[in-house]
Amino acid sequence: MPKNSPSFSNKLITWYLQNTRDLPWRTTNNPYYIWLSEIILQQTRVLQGLPYYLKFVETYPKVEDLANAHEDEIMKLWQGLGYYSRARNLHATAKIVSEEMNGAFPNNYKDLLKLKGVGDYTASAIASICFNQPEAVVDGNVYRTLSRVFGISTPINTPAGQKEFKQMAQLLIDKTQPGTFNQAIMEFGARYCVPQNPDCPNCIFNENCKAFQHNKVSELPVKIKAKPIKKRYFNYLVVLSVKEKTVLRQRTGKGIWHRLYEFPMIETSEDINLPTLEKLPKFQSFSEEFQIENISLYNEKPVIHKLSHQHLITRFWIVESRENSEVAIPVSEIGNYAVPVLIENFVSDFFGNY
């Protein structure tokens, strides 16, 4: 356990005050804006989340605006950011705060933790930044910085590791300015104690850093290996009717892209050709429903869409249809629906930007 807590905290905060990025959520203590920024930034780089934060603040200036919005509209704004359960939980929590809490967020760690989509990290961030509570945040930056400076090799992605690092951070936090401390240690991890090739010779902690002293910077933090990536095979059926209409379906149930829209899709256990596709029972019922006249393969080489834990080997089949089904929508309206990046890429490729 660290013995030089005051020194660590003071040096860290001094560094932070001299190296503060100008970010929009740093100019407010409004819990709504802090909460919004923290949800958006979960597992997301600041530069990737920033434009989304600006869009949401502009579209929904108050939590009531977010609560009263339609989920489809929120999903559309969230499109491209990934981990879409965040957007659904965002809406649910906005409704709770707006309708059951009189528009005021809980003002303490324990009650913040009860909100959907708010875990230990986010509750600690809001409690410290907005309400000056001494709750230490532990995000990826904190794991990395503490494991190196104090030479902790407990795997960070285990309950034991999470507990140990949370306790360490609690000991280190400056209780007179917890919000500043929390943002300082995250900023330090993001800007200085970076994952690959940090500038240790010039680091403010290098004389005390266990990892630097023992030449183990590249070995910390320790993380249990992830499972191998799975391959899946998606066959999209892109309907084109004579009246320039197509068909989208909303994904429901469990799995990726929940509540996003996509073309009708048949998943197979391997990459298939047209004769094989036409024999599939799911395709035959689809073919009858939409009066298919002709089918052609759009992409000669499959599109390989890479997610963190699975690769999607994708074929787009262009299906010319005679009938105008009631569920068909004009092609020009596809852009109104929240779709996965895989679909967005295909649409702009095939239909062009509109």
Active site residues per annotation = 38
17 binds DNA (CB under 7 A): no
Binding map of DNA across residues 197-216, x = CB under 7 A, - = no contact: x-------------------
Distance CA 41, CA 228 (A): 26
Distance CA 176, CA 309 (A): 41
340 binds DNA (CB under 7 A): yes
Query: What residues numbered 91-120 form the site for DNA, per CB under 7 A?
Result: 116-120
Query: What residues numbered 74-93 form the site for DNA, per CB under 7 A?
Result: 80-85, 89
Stretch that binds DNA, among 69-77, 217-225, 236-244, 286-294 (CB under 7 A): 217-225
Stretch that binds DNA, among 96-104, 240-248, 282-290, 306-314 (CB under 7 A): 306-314
Q: Using the minimum distance from each CB to DNA, give the nearer residue, 27 or 273.
A: 27
Q: Map tokens 């029972």 to a residue.
A: 281
Out of 96, 101, 272, 307, point to the residue binding DNA (CB under 7 A): 307
Q: Using the minimum distance from each CB to DNA, give the nearer residue, 323 or 344.
A: 344
Query: What residues numbered 265-304 form the site for DNA, per CB under 7 A?
Result: none
Phi, psi of 177 (to 5 degrees): -150, 65
Instruction: Give exposure, 2-11, as e/b (b: 16+ Cβ within 10 Å).
Output: beeeeebbeb
How many residues sit in the footprint of DNA (CB under 7 A)?
Answer: 67
121 binds DNA (CB under 7 A): yes
CB 166 within 8 A of CB 1: no
User: Least distance to DNA from the beta carbon of 285, Å?
Assistant: 25
Query: 203: which residues sit within 8 A by CB, 6+ positions away?
Result: 192, 193, 209, 212
User: Least distance to DNA from the beta carbon of 53, Å?
Assistant: 10
Out of 95, 166, 210, 223, point to the residue binding DNA (CB under 7 A): 223
CB 180 within 8 A of CB 119: no
Q: Using the minimum distance from each CB to DNA, give the nearer residue, 46 or 69.
A: 46
Q: Map tokens 């309400």 to a residue.
A: 131
342 binds DNA (CB under 7 A): yes
Binding map of DNA across residues 124-163, x = CB under 7 A, - = no contact: ---------------xxx-xx------------xxxx---
Distance CA 131, CA 125 (A): 10
257 binds DNA (CB under 7 A): yes
Residues that bind DNA (CB under 7 A): 23, 25-26, 37-38, 41-48, 80-85, 89, 116-123, 139-141, 143-144, 157-160, 182-183, 186-187, 189-190, 195-197, 221, 223-227, 229, 254-258, 305-310, 340-342
